[in-house]
Amino acid sequence: MITVSPRQLQVFAATAATGSVRIAAERLHLTQPAVSMALADMECILGRPVFDRASRRLVLNEHGRRLLPRAQELLLRLEEFAQGADSDGELVGELRIGTSNTVGNYLVGDLLGGFIAAHPKVNVRLQVENTSTVITRLLAFDVDIACVEGDVAHPDLDQQFWRDDRLCICAAPTHALARRRRLRPEHFEGARWVLRESGSATRVQTERVLAALPAGHVVMELDQAEAIKQAVIAGLGLALLPQVAVALDHAAGRLQVLPTPFLPLKRGLRLVTHRRRWRGPLLDAFLANATADRRAAPTLAAGSPRARP
């Protein structure tokens, strides 16, 4: 009986991840004809195609999408078997993690530090993008696990709480609202806002906050918290940002955190996995390490010595 070979599974998984025979060949150190032949032979064994050919890209069809998690599980089990033959019991291998910008830029030490220290032979690959893109990669099996803000509603995904994340409205120290001690919602009427880009979880939270305040004006959209901070410091407008992203600038007096107890500014950071992906010891160890320490985010003191009623 002719069966699919490990090499064919490698070619299938690499081509699914890249959408390109050329790039898959480069990753696997094979020639393009060898990759094309391996795919063709595998599809012949299966009796049907696993890709749709769209222009110069290969896109998984429905059959391919069903088979990909099985192929990845088999490859992971083969890797675990091969490494176990020479291993002294320590975890080895590669773990691909996707994080939102908040986690990847400001909390990566909290997320990865303990795991890397406990498992030094594991190679961690980190991809930092906005929440929407990270979840798309998780659904496509391009990453093994994601850490993002807020709830993720998708039937193929499981999520569990990691830690709290606190947001704050920040302004330049010279902004009129930064000089008020007791802010009320009506004080925000006509305010100018700098927002994160669509697809960001912080953008979703900002839109909820803006819906609870009087109408203002969106003056700019940026895709990085650092760029937004600079816009706020320059006096271009207000912004809603994670407290962890503004802590140093707040402490240095470059921007002001506005006291807004009337707004819901706490959210949860969550670890998200694909239900059809085999967990394995690497992923289990990472989840156990990450959930062992469920720290809450620190709270910045709002207000200013120069505030007025």
pLDDT band with cut points at 50, 70 and 90 for residue 306: very low
Query: What backbone torsions phi and psi does residue 182 show, to the nearest 5 degrees?
Result: -115, 90
Question: What is the average per-residue pLDDT within 169-195?
Answer: 95
**Are 6-84 and 166-266 the same fold in CATH?**
no
According to the model, what pLDDT value does residue 305 have? Answer: 40
pLDDT reported for residue 94: 86
Give domain 93-163+267-292's CATH number out of 3.60.15.10, 3.40.50.720, 3.10.129.10, 3.40.190.10: 3.40.190.10
Q: To the nearest whole percent, how much of the chain has pLDDT over 90?
A: 66
Any idea where the domains of the chain sit in the sequence? 6-84, 93-163+267-292, 166-266
CATH number of 6-84: 1.10.10.10
**Confidence class of residue 83 from pLDDT cuts 50, 70 and 90?**
low
pLDDT tens, residue by residue, 100-122: 999 999 999 999 999 999 999 89
Q: How confident is the model at residue 85 (pLDDT cuts 50, 70, 90)?
A: very low
CATH match for 166-266 among 3.40.190.290, 3.40.630.10, 3.40.50.980, 3.30.465.10: 3.40.190.290
Single pTM value for the model: 0.77
Per-residue pLDDT at 294 exceeds 90:
no
Mean pLDDT over residues 55-65, rounded? 87
pLDDT above 70 covers a percentage of the chain that reads 92
Q: What is the mean pLDDT of the chain?
A: 88
- pLDDT tens-digit series, residues 230-266: 999 999 999 999 999 999 999 999 999 999 999 989 9
Residue 177 clears pLDDT 80, i.e. is over it = yes
pLDDT value at position 302? 66
Query: In which band, very low, low, confident or very high, does the pLDDT at 90 lie, cut at 50, 70 and 90?
Result: confident
